[in-house]
Amino acid sequence: GTGAALLALSARMSSGIETMLDLVGFDEAAAHANLIITGEGNMDNQTAAGKAPVGVAKRAKAAGKPVVAIGGRANDIDEVYRFGIDLVVPLAPRPLALECALDPAVACENARIAGDAAIRAYLL
């Protein structure tokens, strides 16, 4: 309802991820990067339907950059690969109870390990 009302008042509709990437200067930063790392809590077919990691991957591919996505969970990721993500790395290196995975110290260490894995895969 609100969107339609705003359109009637001369607003324009745009993709949320495209707008955010423009606001943060993604294209210029990507031009100087060797690898683009993105992520999402749950990598799945909904990700492929246009969520942020796919938007990042499309822009990264336009710049000729490889893309690694880090995900808390990964299900049905074949679609994600078709949309430009080259590798999906799990955030947790082993099965964890949700309460443990959400502990800030554990989450930080898991992010470090996943980032390390992404960079090592790129260097191969």
pLDDT attached to residue 31? 96
CA distances from 72 to 1, 6, 85, 101, 113 (A): 33, 36, 16, 9, 13
CA distances from 70 to 2, 5, 82 (A): 34, 37, 16
Q: Which helix (H) or strand (E) holds 39?
A: strand 36-43
> For helices 52-62 and 16-23, what crossing angle results, to 10°?
60
Longest CA span, the chain: 52
Residues linked to residue 73 through DSSP beta bridges, in sequence order: 42
pLDDT at 60 exceeding the cut of 90:
yes
Residue pLDDT, tens place only, 66-106: 999 999 888 888 888 988 999 999 998 888 898 998 999 99
**Mean pLDDT (whole number) for 102-113:** 94
